[in-house]
Structure 1
């Protein structure tokens, strides 16, 4: 088997394992990894729409809409009509959503610590550099 294929499989396995780990850790606050990512997006990008979330996460509008709908049902998000475009709604974090962000960030720290455990400071720096390079390469070839 060629090296490129093996690397791609290992990266895919790492990604799936990270998502599973995040989902396990988020289960106690009744969130999925996708919902947590949406909350983080809306706290970092106030006044954004479902379309903005869709573009940011590279998911369909329908999927983003479903995530936002479930977070609204959980009372973590609310939506109001946009003052700029009446066809669009602006998504806001509620007080509960803001409370959940703290727990979501703790989860991310926990998962990140697991990934980096056993690496020296130099290895962590090199790992970050290589991840950035790999991401840049795949984005460059996608476009």
Structure 2
């Protein structure tokens, strides 16, 4: 493949990320949370049935370092949106859960359009194009995950 074309694809993906992040940050400012804080709230909300969610699972999900996640968790705790308690499985871990205000915030974000950025991204595409786009994104991500593991 032409290396110039590959570079253009990387730059296009970077631009997509920048636009999405800017739009998302602006939208989430009405909730007084950042995109990363929202990601953590949504992860906790989507995994409420799991007995214990610890910081390590958030680090793996978000693909960020321990100090970065620690800071975001602290800010969410300061806002009263999440709480932590000692794990019943492993006393070295703390389990994270949504508080009542955190649950309300997560539900409000979902009701007001958590998926609006996804819809904006595929606007104007046919269902077949959107499905193909999803497959191509998954394929590209899988390629990079395999490379990362080597």
Q: Which runs of 4+ in 1 moved over 3 A?
A: none
| RMSD of aligned alpha carbons | 1.4
- TM-superposition CA deviations, 1:85-114 (whole Å, max 9, x none): 222211110111111112333342221221
- TM-score scaled by structure 1? 0.93
Choose which of 126, 132, 135 in structure 2 pairs with 1:120: 126
Structure 1 SS opposite 2:96: strand
Contact 1:80 1:90 in 2 (8 A): yes
Structure 1 partner of 2:73: 68
Partner of 1:29: 31
Segments of 5+ residues of structure 1 without an aligned counterpart are: none
Q: TM-score, normalised by structure 2?
A: 0.89
Count of residues in correspondence between the two structures = 143
Q: Which has the higher contact order (CA 8 A, sep 6+)?
A: 1
What is the match of residue 108 of structure 2? 103
Unaligned runs of 5+ residues in structure 2 are none
